[in-house]
Amino acid sequence: MNNFALTFEGYSTMVILAVVGLLTVVALVHCAIQRPDAFPTAGPLSKGVWLAILAGTLLLTTLGFGGGGLGIFGIIGLIAALVYLLDIRPALKDAGSNPW
């Protein structure tokens, strides 16, 4: 492989990790500011479980566990953040009066 390909791969991996980290942080902050009593209407998991999932995957992704690049924990973190943001967040919005 030439030098350009290695450089491009490194930068693209950093950008993907930054996007995954940002999505997870947004989901974690949103989860932290929600009322705990709204979570049973949104799904079977409580607020504490969602906080643990999002914080754990953020920590493991940030520390780079699960292999080089994005790794298995990065993929799990991305899926967890997307499930929270695309499924749980709208359900919480419908359950309460919080506009965000």
Q: For 61-75, give one letter per residue: b (16+ CB within 10 A) or e.
A: bbeeebeeebbebbe
Q: Residue 25 pLDDT > 60, yes or no? A: yes
Asked if 20 and 81 touch (Cβ cutoff 8 Å), the reply is yes
Mean local confidence (pLDDT), 72-80 = 88
At residue 49, the pLDDT reads 97
Place of tokens 């999932």: 53
Neighbours of 88 (CB within 10 A): 21
pTM score:
0.85
At residue 72, the pLDDT reads 83
Share of the chain above pLDDT 70, in %: 90
What end-to-end distance do the CA atoms of the chain give, in Å? 47
Query: pLDDT category, 66, cuts 50, 70, 90?
Result: low
Rounded to whole angstroms, the Cα distance separating 69 from 49 reads 27
